């Protein structure tokens, strides 16, 4: 019988959680109902990833472009974030999950900023799966902020422009110290990155799932993991030729 979890498990899985609104609309419910259902699915995704021995799970929770949504929907999303952290932080801590947050923290509400800091500080010493929450995150904004930091270092004389390498840039983006994602999953059938981990996903495998995020259950997660396990990752190299018969 085939194992539920593939032998070749990605170290880092990143997920674009798409489709909450469409899930609600299809059921004649307000969009907030879809977001609430999506929050419940986050809990299951963290457990499934941990059980599969994934080391890092990054979730695209709120993009820097999401502020352009209707004010009431943004307010509801902020309320759900508060609810998730206040309700689930203790459980995540008990389960040895380390929480990290990426994204720009300028101009976000002070109480939310405090909750994000609390989540990181409380779980900092945990050694289980790392749950990386991309909040107020946009990859282009991330790279602009990284370039500014590097430029300031050059301006102050602390860095030689000739010494700047890919490693230098990687050390200034939000995910510094976190390995690049091996697998990027997007739900809802859409096939684009939407300004998510543009630098980090350079060699990631992509799996686009037709289901909407609130329907992305344990079985769907394992389907994506098994698809990853079937991929041949060459990082630009040429695959070794098969041995000729009789050789």
Known binding residues: 18-23, 31, 35, 63-65, 67, 69, 186, 192-194, 205
Q: Any alpha helices (H) in 52-138, and if so which ranges?
A: 71-94, 110-123
Dihedral-angle region of residue 64 (phi above 0 means left; psi in -120 to 50 means alpha; beta otherwise): alpha
Residues 131, 41, 108, 57, Cα dihedral to 10°: 20
Assigned token pair, 232: 């041949």
- Longest Cα–Cα distance of the chain, Å, equals 70
C-beta of residue 23 within 8 angstroms of C-beta of residue 210: no
- CA of residue 122 relative to chain centroid, distance: 20
Spatial CA neighbour of 138 closest among 67, 209, 213: 67
Q: Which residues are annotated as a binding site for substrate?
A: 19-23, 31, 35, 63-65, 67, 69, 186, 192-194
Angle at 194 between CA 205 and CA 36, to 5 degrees: 100
Look up residue 118 and give its two tokens: 């609390």
User: Rounded CA gap, 134 and 175, in Å?
Assistant: 10
Give the pair of three-digit tokens for residue 24: 């609600």
Catalytic residue set: 18, 66
What are 221's two structure tokens? Answer: 């997660």
Q: CB-based contacts of 40: which residues, under 8 Å, 6+ apart?
A: 214
**Binding-site residues for Mg(2+), please?**
18, 205
């Amino acid at each position: 019988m085939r194992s539920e979890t593939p032998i070749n498990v990605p170290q880092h899985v990143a997920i674009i959680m798409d489709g909450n609104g469409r899930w609600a609309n299809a059921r004649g419910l307000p969009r907030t109902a879809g977001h609430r259902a999506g929050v419940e699915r986050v809990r299951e995704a963290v457990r499934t990833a941990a059980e599969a021995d994934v080391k890092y799970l990054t979730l695209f929770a709120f993009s820097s472009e999401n502020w352009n949504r209707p004010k009431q929907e943004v307010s509801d999303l902020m309320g759900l974030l508060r609810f998730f952290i206040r309700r689930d932080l203790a459980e995540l801590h008990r389960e040895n999950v380390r929480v990290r947050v990426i994204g720009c923290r300028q101009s976000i509400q002070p109480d939310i900023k405090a909750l994000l800091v609390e989540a990181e500080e409380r779980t900092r010493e945990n050694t289980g799966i790392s749950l990386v929450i991309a909040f107020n995150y946009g990859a282009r904004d991330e790279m602009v902020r990284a370039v500014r930091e590097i430029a300031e270092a050059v301006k102050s004389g602390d860095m030689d422009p000739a010494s700047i390498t890919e490693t230098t840039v990687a050390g200034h983006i939000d995910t510094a110290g976190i390995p690049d994602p091996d697998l990027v999953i997007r739900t809802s059938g859409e096939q684009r990155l939407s300004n998510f981990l543009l630098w980090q996903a350079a060699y990631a495998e992509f799996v686009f799932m037709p289901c909407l995020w609130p329907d992305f259950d344990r079985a769907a997660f394992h389907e994506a993991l098994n698809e990853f396990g079937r991929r041949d990752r060459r990082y630009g190299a040429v695959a070794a030729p098969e041995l000729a018969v009789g050789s």
